Amino acid sequence: MLDAEVLLAHVLRSSRELLRTYPQAPVRLDDRRRFRALVTRRARHVPVAYLVGSKEFYGHRLAVTPAVLIPRPETELLVDRALAFLRAHPSVRRVVEVGTGSGAIAIALACALRRIRIEAVEVDPLALRLARRNVLAHRVAARIRLRRGDLLDGTARVRCIVANLPYLSLDRRRHLPRDVRHEPARALNGGRDGLELIRRLLVQAPALLRAPGCLLLECDPAQAARVRTLARRAFPAASVEVLRDLSGRWRAVEVRLG
């Protein structure tokens, strides 16, 4: 029912609230056809966000396509913690986000704190193109530098790094929900055990993260303890904490340096 309301509101360029307020309003034949076509695709498990072309993240409406992973509410935890660090350290003015995808995290940070400048790195050119579209739409292009790159290669020293990298293991990818199978494989593939990219980033990060510094990594809840161990090995003098998302699942690892 919820999906049908969202799709109909999209077709009518309206809102779910207006649909419920005026349930008897007439629907044109062309709109009926468009709605039926969308419902048919939804029945094939195409995610609603791809059907309507957008998704809300941290209060911001972002364009999404099958070129990028759909932003999840769980990832807002990274934004919350990054903002907490940045507000506690007002002298920190530069952030590096790795694997920006649609640009969701970078845009949320830039909209929340006008003083910061963000370097948003993405390896996929199609995702980078969409991120640029979202950055321009939210009028933060002057404060977000988008660039194509592999993890932290080419990054200068920094005090805040945020990364939501692909982290699903081969076994998890074999048992994906049908909706998720429509999302880009590259944005999900964390290698055989799900930690391939996280390991690589944790090899790079110690040479680049300055004190006082903060590194935030989203992870599979089932892998959180292993990510914490890897982070402690990479940063033996740092404080390493595993963070719960709003549903109570271990969702991210935070490294605090200095």
- Mind listing the pLDDT tens digit for each residue in 20-71? 665 666 777 787 898 899 889 999 999 999 999 999 999 999 999 999 999 9
- Give pLDDT, residue 1: 63
pTM value is 0.94
- Give pLDDT, residue 29: 77
Lowest mean pLDDT, pick from 30-39, 177-186, 198-207? 30-39
Q: What is the CA radius of gyration of the chain?
A: 20
- Give pLDDT, residue 171: 93
Which burial class, exposed, middle or buried, applies to 204 when counting CB atoms under 10 A from its CB (0-12, 13-18, 19+)? middle
Local confidence band at 13 (pLDDT 50, 70, 90 cut-offs): confident
Strand order of the sheet with strand 209-218? 144-148, 117-122, 94-98, 158-163, 209-218, 250-257, 239-244
Looking at the chain, the domain(s) classified CATH 3.40.50.150 span 55-62+67-257
Mind listing the pLDDT tens digit for each residue in 103-151? 999 999 999 999 999 999 999 999 999 999 999 999 999 999 999 999 9
Local confidence band at 240 (pLDDT 50, 70, 90 cut-offs): very high
Domain covering 55-62+67-257, topology: Rossmann fold (3.40.50)
- Listed residue (252, 44, 208, 193) closest to 234, CA to CA: 208
- Listed residue (142, 145, 159, 140) closest to 91, CA to CA: 159
Local confidence band at 16 (pLDDT 50, 70, 90 cut-offs): low
Q: Over the chain, what is the mean pLDDT?
A: 94
35 CB neighbour count, 10 Å cutoff? 17
